[in-house]
Structure formats: C-alpha cells, structure tokens
Amino acid sequence: MEDSIKMAGEEKQTENKPEELRIGVFICHCGLNIAGVIDIKELVEFAKTIPDVVYVKDNRYTCADPGQEEIRKAIKEHKLNRVVVAACSPRMHEVTFRRTVSEAGLNPYLFEIANIREFSSWCHPSTPKEATEKAKDLIKMAVAKARLLMPLQTIEVPVTNKALVIGGGIAGMNAALDLAEMGFKVYLLEKGESIGGHMAQLDKTFPTLDCSICIEGPKMVDVGRHPNIEIISYADLLNVSGFIGNFKVRIRKNPRYVIAENCTGCGECKDVCPIEYPNEWDMGLGVRKAISVPFDQAVPLVYTINRDYCIECYKCVDACGARQAINFDQKPEEIELEVGAIIVATGYDIYLPYDNQLYGYGKYTNVITSLEFERLILAAGPTGGKVVRASDGQKPHSVAFIQCVGSRDTNKYPYCSNFCCMYTLKHVVQLKEKYKEDIEVYVFYMDMRTNFKGFEEFYQRARELGVNFVRGRVSRIFEDPETKNLIIHAEDANLGMPIEVEAEMVVLATAAIPKKGTEDIARILNLTRGTDGFFMESHPKLKPLDAPTDGIFLAGACQGPKDIPYSVSQGCGAAARAATVLSKKTWKIEPIIAIVDPTKCRNVTTKCGICAERCPYGAIKAEEKKPAQVITAMCHGCGTCVAECPADAIQQMHFTDAQILAQLRTALEKNPEDKILAFLCNWCAYAGADLAGTSRFEYPPTIRPIRVMCSGRVDRDFVLEAFRLGAGMVLVGACHLPYDCHYISGNWKMKARMDALAPMLHKLGLTPERFRVEFISAAEGVKFAEVIQEMTEQMRTLGRERIKAENEKLRPVLENMLKRKEKK
Amino acid sequence: MSGEKPLDFTKEITSKLGGETIARCYQCGTCASTCPVTRTTERYNPRQIIRLALLGQRDEVLKGDSIWLCASCYNCQERCPQKVEIADVIYALRNIAIREGNIPAIYTEFANGLMSEGRLAPISKFLEKKRADYGLPPLKPTGVEAIKKILAATGFDKIMFKKEGTPQ
C-alpha cells in the first residue's frame, strides 16, 4: 500500500525550540508503599541537586486530586516546562499525569515517570538504603530524559464513514448487514456472480439439519435490498492505498455481457440458449447454459454470458427483446471507491485431492469429495437429491466416508479443518435416514471432534442409526475393475487389525484450504499469512478480528476454517470493530511514531530500504532515489526501523536515541560495573518487572531499567555504549517468541540483531553471561526476579576487577565502532 | 502399567539416529494397514510398537521378536501423515536392543560370520560345488582383516563379542 498524504503536525514534532529548562520533580509517598522503604527526605534533597530541577515537592498520594492539583499549581507558579513524577509504574498512571500537566497548559509529552514503587520500594524492602540509591538513579534518569523531551501533537486523520467488505459469503454478508443497519454505507465486493458463498452450495446444516438455502436465501435478499449496501459482484480487487479512515480502493468489474440495470432475471434467454457447460457451482456434476445464473436464488439476479462457451447465435438477444439487456460489447470497467475501513471475508476453498495417488480421486469414478456429495443429496441439485454412482447411475448400497483427507497430514495441510467431522456426521445421518436398512455406512476417522452445542448428541444419533465408525486412517483404496466398487485398506486401530472394506462409493472429507487468490489479497492489503496460508490476526486472543494493519478487519474462514455460526459471529464482530473507526469523524494516533530525516537517509544515493523491509507494518515507503517515508497513520511506534537504520536517519518520537542514551549515561554515572543495565519492552518484560514488584518478589537492587515500547527499538549502539561506559551486565527483555510481540515481529528483529552482536562481543573478550537477551512475559514476575537474581550472582562471581579489566580491553574497540558511526 | 517412566524411554529413542521422530505419532494406523508384514502376521504391528514404546514399555518392545520382523520396505515411512520415520525408528529400537544383548540368534550368526569369514552367509561345500557346476570361478577369500578393522573402528566387534558364548 502506498500513500502520499503528509500528516498535519509532522513538522511540528521535530522542531525543538531552545528554552531554559525548568523541571519540577514530584515524589510520591504512596502512603507507606514507597515511604515505608525509601527515605523520601533524602530523595527530595537529592532531587534538588540535579541540574535544571527548579522545584521539588513530595506528596502523600500524587495521583489523588490534591496531589494532581499541586502539580498544576506548581507548573503555573514556577513556570515549569518539564514534569517528572516519581511514583508508580507508567503503565499505571502515565495517562493520568499526562492529562494533569495538559490541564495546566503543558504539552502532555513533556512529562516523565520514575517508577520507584514497582521497581524499587516493592521489590527491595529489606535493603532500604540500596532501594533509596536506586530510586535516586531512577529519578535522575527520568530527569535526563525529561530534559530532551519534545512537545508532541496527537495526530488526527479524517475518517470516511463508508466500508468495504470483501467477500459475499455468510461472514461478509453479516458484516455488511450489521454495518448497513448501523447507518454506514457498505460496498460488498464479490468475485463470483452471486453472493452466498459456500453456504449456498450446501443442502442441510449441522446439527439441526435445517435447509441451508432456506435460512441463507432470505439473508441474501436482505443484503440485495438494503439501501445502504451496494453489491459489486463479478469484480476483482485491484489495488488499495491509504490508511485507516482513508483507504482508496480500485476495483475492476468484469463484463457479464448483460446490462445489470436492464436484466429482470426472467430467464427467457436461458430457455432459448442451446449451449450447456459444466456448472462449477455443482462441482461440475450438473450443467448450466452459456447464458445463465449459477443457481436460482442468485443475488443479484443478473444473468452472465460465458464467452468461452457462447457460440454467438444471438437467440438470447431475440428472447430478451425490448428489454435490451444483452450487450456483447461490454468491457471491463474500473471504479474507485473511498472507504474508512475494510473487512476481509474471502473464505476458503475445498481441496481437490487429485495429487493423492492412494485414494484415487479423479481416477476411480466412484470416489467423490464431500462437497460433491452435498450437491448429490441436495434436492435442487443435478440428480434431484438422489445419491447415485457416477459409474452406473445406481444408488450405492454401501458408502464409506474418509476423514482428514489432506488435513492433519504434514505432507499436505498439517492443521485440522475444523468442520469435516460434523459435515460427515450430517451426511451419514442424512443417508441413514433417507435409505434406512438399504444402505451400509462406514466412517474412517482418527478422532471425532464434536465440541460445540449439540454436536456430541448428533454423533450419538449417527451411532444409534447404525453407522459403522472405524478408528483408523485409510492407507490405500483400490478399485474393482468389474464392479467399480472400492476396496479400502485401513487398520482398525481399536482392534489392532488391518482390515479391508468393500464399498460402492467413497466420499472424501477433504481439507479446507486458503481461497485461491489469498496471496493477491494479502499483497494488496499488506496482510500477513500464517504458515497454513490463512490470514493472521493481530493478536490470537485479544484481537482475533483485527488485521495487523489498522482499519482492516478479518471475518470468517479466510482466517482459518470455521463453521457457519462461528463465521456469522465473526462477521458481526468485525462489523462492530469496523464501526469503532467509522463512527468517528477523526481517528487519533499517538504521536510516538517514527520520522525520517531526509537529509541523512541513504536511500537517496544508494539502494537501502532496510527500514521498509524490517517494518512489521509495511508503513515505510522507500522509493528509489528518494528518502524513505513513514506513513504516519500506519506506523505503530515500535521503533524497529529506528534501531535498524544504518545511517541513524530515523527517530522515534518520545523514544529518541538522544533520550535513551541520556537515560543510559545517567544510569551508569556511578559504579557502572555493579549495575545491570536493562532495556525492557513496555508490553511484556516491563510488565513482568511490574508484576515482580506488585507480587513483592524481592531481587537485588542492581538493575537500572530503561523502558522502550518494543524490544525491536533496542539499537546495538545502546549495548555498545553501555559496555563502553563500563556496565557490569546488559539485559534486553522482550516478549516471548514466536507470537507474543505486540508489534508482530519486533522481538524477532531484535533477536536477529543481538544474535549477530553477541558473538562479536564474546570474541572481543566479553564474558558471555554479561550480555543477555531474555524473553519475559507480563505474567512472569517470578522469572524476571530470578533472572535479575541470577545475573547479579554472575556479576558478583566475576567480580569488579575482572569486569573492569574486560571493559578496559573492550573500550578502544567500542569507541572506534561508535565513532565510525558518528562520522557517517 | 509396569516399566520405566514413559518419557525416559521416549527420550532415549529420540536421541538415537533414526528415532528422532517417534513422538510425532498420533496412532492413525496408516503404517499398520500399509505394512505387508502386518498383513501376514499378528506378531508385527508398527503402530503398536510405537504405542508401547511411547508408553515406556521397554521390555515389551526390546525383548520380543516383533521389532526384528520389519522387512524395511519403507511403505509406512512413505505414507505416514506425520512424517514419523517409522522404519528408521524400528532400526533405532533394534540398535538399543542389540546393545542390551537382545539379539535374535540369526543375527549373532550373521555377525560372527562377518567377523570371522568376512561374509554374512557361510560358504558350504554344496555351494562351492554348485558354482563349479555353473562354471563360476571359486570364491576368493575376502579381505577379512580390513573388515575387522572397520568393524573395530565402528565398535561393532565389541557389541557382538560381548554376547559371544551367551546362548540366545
């Protein structure tokens, strides 16, 4: 995706007027939570000695109204232009105090927290002296960052309150209907001739056996008639540009050779058309005319001419007569839409196992897939609901159903396709209830997965009807060349015996696989796909409907195989998620984004583009011979690009190199070889450290933490600088691999960077334990405490002298490395 | 269930060459139903061997003759949906069994023949006469010393000699 809109306020973010620094420091007692361990008086006296600090005040509870009022008063009376609060975790009250300072007229980003509760008083209660010393460092580090803070403006982008839903299956239809009911204009894009999706192909639905089209048909009509929904069918998605609230979508409408506005759907053209071709809707089992609709309930009810088969006899033109709906000169038409949010509901395909030699699909006439069986047993299907064999047109007396064809197979699709157990149960119940004693039914399965409402009872019903369930995977099917019966080889694993079963028909429950074209949609919308090929959600638990790109949502089986109720729920859910964007006039973006300095960017002279390649969101555009450009509305503020940029041409607002280095240098001013310098990512490692504090896990007060939004922000220069300054140990704390990162893959980028750095440091003589990357979740307070305990012990075992000696040896090399970089 | 902790035996197998993939098995029975040996005898069923092994039934697996019945056709391995290298797992189990002295007599004979004569099958008078009848030249002596060297380098001789004299 691309974008050329420059954000308002972007220039403002980078300007930094020189002004006299007037920093106020507010130290919170938090009742006895802080004051019970830390000597507040000493802290106050210490804070007064820090350069640029003009006002220091302690409060019993800084977050309470009187405490906040004192901050507001002090800002006005003492003309404070930076505020530092030494209290609890920023994850607790950063938002509170930002509001407080902005109420007093100060930019909310000119505020910083020193976390002296979770990070000091709560985790070092038995060493109050050291805890106080650590608190002093934390305050001094916060002041160091505060000096360099810049006022930032919240970025607002306008929102177009229209939506695009891609895919007109049951998930997409529900998404479109819900959004339309909320009052938003919805474009429903469908690749095929009609909406309805796979559900419209089905006979019955499990476990209730209601008729599928009887419940879906009315919904399709509702969609077609809704004044807020515009169906764009028989059309392809060409391109999407822009960002949340402001997407530009290009679509190509393919020619039907029938003018939609003039077509009444009467079908008189079809009656006179002499040409028939296999109907893909019937899985090729039935036929349709060269001018036709795929099925009677199609919405929109507009006929289409298939020019691959049409012989241009023009009988249809005559039959249409005065309505003049047929136009053989129709051309593809490109249209452009503007929408604020996009819902992707492109669904799935059914695997056709032509490549599976062992089961003989495509080779033996009486081996069919479940979707073909579905069309056979459907009353409106090509056989009028009679289940017959292709070889002789006779009703089979024995049918074997084979589960997990392609699914749960590491050679094809390793995942479970979710709904096959249930649709096979549906098929066997239908067969048994239709033909009673006249049919023998086998199901070869590995595990029966019947884990939703009414499913297990349905399984029971199938057993009571006398279906033979055989636990064992089929290894091979042979055809009897005379009878065209199938001989199935399997092991009855419960008996531990190889068995052979002869059946007159075999039905393969094949895998649900990513829809053809998923790759193109992924490319156009910058969506990520899992190893299974389905679209990846932003977070598997808490953001199951959000795509990683803001303003784009996922619904239904495009994200993994799902049954009807699950797809409907997701459609409705995605509509609600999209409405959180569409219902706003403007969309606010926190301004902690990355900004490129075009004068430093290498991409102007050489082909670089590292930032664009490493950005987890595809938010950076690096065109040839032009400086890289961050698309503000797509940037999530992880800072990975900043750390990756070889020219230091990118800065992350509020987490600039200068700010982080100032914290780092302050932390290592005194006795650096006794300290562990830690970079903690906001969402996992920092939260884990907070939890260690709230859980009162005690660990040695040796650590000096620096908060970054994502571990991806941790530049290797930070590590080098820390060792140059003599740090005892360096720790990088990140979210767990592979999926825990809140910025998709920042932790992976950090890992790759540090994996390359560590051996180099070891070669230069650094003891390996002194530089550590650790993955700590927000729930692993214990682990955090243990890691610090362990590192402290290692540091003490090594001893100051050894550390100092190593650092002496390292320093010239590190200085050289850092200097070389500065020159560039 | 008797036997050691299931996990210990699984770990032992996965640490052996060929045994790495055993824990992937989900007991579908593709191997058993595709196996030409299982079709002829109840004494060999690869799925059951893997099951017993994963349950830590060490003696059951190693002391019987079951693992020695595999014909190494690799049908199972080709068709396994979980990429368990079944035939190779059986080899790993055989290697463990041999180290513990569970060797069927026929294999001891083979090994001894290999080490003393350099041949798996002994040369009988009958065989030599047959060769002459067919106009084939008499068999040359093998480079038994070289073979012994190789077998010593691989440690094969030690495994086998350990069992020498102990009736199977």
Distance from CA of B46 to the nearest CA of A (A): 10
Using CA coordinates, name the residue in chain B closest to A476.
B34
**Least confident stretch, A427-431, A613-617, A651-655:** A613-617
Helices then strands, counting H and E runs in chain B, come out as 11, 0
Asked if A273 contacts A311 with a C-beta cutoff of 8 angstroms, the reply is no
Question: Can you give the pTM of this predicted structure?
Answer: 0.80
Residue A425: strand, helix, or coil: helix
Please check whether residues A323 and A174 belong to one and the same domain.
no
Task: Name the average pLDDT for chain A.
Answer: 94
Cα A593 to its chain centre, rounded Å, is 19
Please check whether residues A705 and A795 belong to one and the same domain.
yes
Composition of chain A by helix, strand, coil, percent to 5? 35, 25, 40
- A3 band by pLDDT with thresholds 50, 70 and 90: very low
- What digits encode the pLDDT tens for the residues B14-72? 999 999 999 999 999 999 999 999 999 999 999 999 999 999 999 999 998 999 999 99
Q: CATH number of B6-99: 3.30.420.40, 3.40.50.720, 1.10.3720.10, 1.10.1060.10?
A: 1.10.1060.10
CATH of the domain at A389: 3.50.50.60
Judged by CB atoms closer than 8 Å, whether chains meet at B47 and A498 is answered as no
CATH of the domain at A61: 3.40.50
Assess if residue A7 is contained within a domain.
no
* pLDDT at position A6 over 50: no
CB atoms closer than 10 angstroms to residue B130: 11
Distance (Å, rounded) from C-alpha A467 to C-alpha A820?
76
* pLDDT at position B86 over 70: yes
A16, burial (CB in 10 Å: exposed 0-12, middle 13-18, buried 19+)? exposed
Composition of chain B by helix, strand, coil, percent to 5? 60, 0, 40
Name the nearest CA neighbour of A378 among A200, A215, A552, A227: A200
Tell me which of A452, A484, A513 is where a domain ends. Answer: A513
Please check whether residues A498 and A557 belong to one and the same domain.
no
The residue count for chain A = 824
Asked if A180 contacts A188 with a C-beta cutoff of 8 angstroms, the reply is no
Share of chain A above pLDDT 90, in %: 90
Hey, which residues 413-472 in chain A have their CB within 8 Å of chain B? 446, 471-472
Please check whether residues A536 and A680 belong to one and the same domain.
no
Please check whether residues A418 and A303 belong to one and the same domain.
no
Distance (Å, rounded) from C-alpha A577 to C-alpha A554?
10
Name the nearest CA neighbour of A715 among A756, A674, A686: A756
Please check whether residues A471 and A377 belong to one and the same domain.
yes
Please check whether residues A183 and A142 belong to one and the same domain.
no
- pLDDT confidence of residue A1: 45
Residue type, A794: Q
Asked if A521 contacts A166 with a C-beta cutoff of 8 angstroms, the reply is yes
Share of chain A above pLDDT 70, in %: 97
Please check whether residues A467 and A536 belong to one and the same domain.
no
- Chain B contact present for A60, CB below 8 A: no
Sheet holding A771-775, edge to edge: A703-708, A676-681, A729-734, A771-775
Q: What is the mean pLDDT of residues A547-570?
A: 95
The residue count for chain B = 168
Question: CA neighbours within 13 Å on the CB side: how many for A271?
Answer: 7
Please check whether residues A562 and A635 belong to one and the same domain.
no
For chains A and B, what is the number of CB pairs under 8 angstroms? 61
Best mutation site among B24, B26, B27, B28 for testing chain A: the one with the most A CBs within 10 Å?
B28
Domain count, chain A: 6
- pLDDT confidence of residue B151: 87
Residue B131: strand, helix, or coil: helix
* pLDDT at position A16 over 60: no
- What digits encode the pLDDT tens for the residues A135-149? 999 999 999 999 999
Spell out a b/e string for B39-63, using b for 16 or more CB atoms within 10 Å of the CB, else e.
eeeeebbbbbbbbbbbebbbebbbe
Terminal CA-to-CA distance of chain A, rounded, Å? Answer: 31
Please check whether residues A186 and A246 belong to one and the same domain.
yes
A64, burial (CB in 10 Å: exposed 0-12, middle 13-18, buried 19+)? exposed
Using CA coordinates, name the residue in chain B closest to A358.
B79
Residue A679: strand, helix, or coil: strand
User: Which among B39, B45, B82 has CB closest to A410?
Assistant: B82
Distance from CA of A692 to the nearest CA of B (A): 33
A315, two tokens = 């009988």
Cα A445 to its chain centre, rounded Å, is 33
Distance from CA of B81 to the nearest CA of A (A): 4
- Chain B contact present for A474, CB below 8 A: yes
Judged by CB atoms closer than 8 Å, whether chains meet at A496 and B48 is answered as yes
- Chain B contact present for A103, CB below 8 A: no
Please check whether residues A355 and A503 belong to one and the same domain.
yes
Distance from CA of A422 to the nearest CA of B (A): 19
- pLDDT confidence of residue A821: 66
Asked if A632 contacts A594 with a C-beta cutoff of 8 angstroms, the reply is no
- B4 band by pLDDT with thresholds 50, 70 and 90: low
Asked if A683 contacts A778 with a C-beta cutoff of 8 angstroms, the reply is yes
- What digits encode the pLDDT tens for the residues A232-257? 999 999 999 888 999 999 999 999 99
Residue A527: strand, helix, or coil: coil
Assess if residue A1 is contained within a domain.
no
Q: What is the mean pLDDT of residues B84-107?
A: 92
Residue A554: strand, helix, or coil: strand
- What digits encode the pLDDT tens for the residues A755-792? 999 999 999 999 999 999 999 999 899 999 999 999 99
Distance (Å, rounded) from C-alpha A669 to C-alpha A141?
10
Hey, which residues 494-523 in chain A have their CB within 8 Å of chain B? 496-499
Q: What is the mean pLDDT of residues A719-740?
A: 93
Going by DSSP bridges, is the β-strand pair A210-211/A204-205 parallel, antiparallel, or unpaired? antiparallel
User: Which among A471, A475, A499 has CB closest to B34?
Assistant: A475
- Chain B contact present for A357, CB below 8 A: no
Angle at B147 (CA atoms; ends B143, B151), nearest 5 degrees: 170
Which residue in this structure is represented by tokens 């396994």? B80
Helix residue ranges per DSSP H, B100-155: 105-116, 125-133, 144-154
- pLDDT confidence of residue A7: 41
Question: CA neighbours within 13 Å on the CB side: how many for A636?
Answer: 21
Residue type, A2: E
Residue/partner pairs of A14-21 with CB below 8 Å, 24 or more apart:
A14/A150, A14/A595, A14/A651, A15/A150, A16/A150, A19/A81, A20/A81, A21/A52, A21/A81, A21/A82, A21/A147
User: Which among B27, B34, B81 has CB closest to A493?
Assistant: B27
Which residue in this structure is represented by tokens 């049951």? A170
Q: Range of A409's domain?
A: 349-513
Asked if B13 contacts B19 with a C-beta cutoff of 8 angstroms, the reply is yes
Chain B residues with at least one Cβ partner in A under 8 Å:
24, 26-35, 38-39, 42, 45, 47-48, 79, 81-83
User: Which among B27, B30, B45 has CB closest to A475?
Assistant: B30
Cβ contacts of A491 on chain B, cutoff 8 Å: 29-30, 32-33, 38, 45, 47
Beta bridge partners of A478: A487
Judged by CB atoms closer than 8 Å, whether chains meet at B45 and A496 is answered as yes
Tell me which of A513, A539, A569 is where a domain ends. Answer: A513
User: Which among A408, A446, A475 has CB closest to B79?
Assistant: A475
A710, two tokens = 């994502």
* pLDDT at position A710 over 90: yes
Distance (Å, rounded) from C-alpha A653 to C-alpha A713?
12
- What digits encode the pLDDT tens for the residues A623-676? 999 999 999 888 999 999 999 999 999 999 999 999 999 999 999 999 999 999
Asked if A703 contacts A675 with a C-beta cutoff of 8 angstroms, the reply is yes
- Chain B contact present for A491, CB below 8 A: yes
Residue type, A642: V
* pLDDT at position A5 over 60: no
Sheet holding A111-115, edge to edge: A53-59, A23-28, A82-87, A111-115
Distance (Å, rounded) from C-alpha B46 to C-alpha A366?
31
The torsion of the CA quartet A68, A70, A74, A80, rounded to 10 degrees, works out to -30
Domain ranges of chain B: 6-99, 105-163
Residue A640: strand, helix, or coil: helix
Distance (Å, rounded) from C-alpha A575 to C-alpha A587?
17
Distance (Å, rounded) from C-alpha B83 to C-alpha B93?
18
Using CA coordinates, name the residue in chain A closest to B84.
A410
- What digits encode the pLDDT tens for the residues A740-761? 888 889 999 999 999 999 999 9
* pLDDT at position A4 over 70: no
Please check whether residues A480 and A356 belong to one and the same domain.
yes
- pLDDT confidence of residue B161: 53
Distance from CA of B161 to the nearest CA of A (A): 38
Q: How far is CA A548 from CA A4, A172, A436, A552, A748, in A?
A: 21, 19, 51, 8, 16
Helix residue ranges per DSSP H, A396-498: 420-435, 455-464
Q: What is the mean pLDDT of residues A490-497?
A: 94
Best mutation site among A357, A409, A473 for testing chain B: the one with the most B CBs within 10 Å?
A473
Judged by CB atoms closer than 8 Å, whether chains meet at A411 and B81 is answered as yes
Using CA coordinates, name the residue in chain B closest to A477.
B34
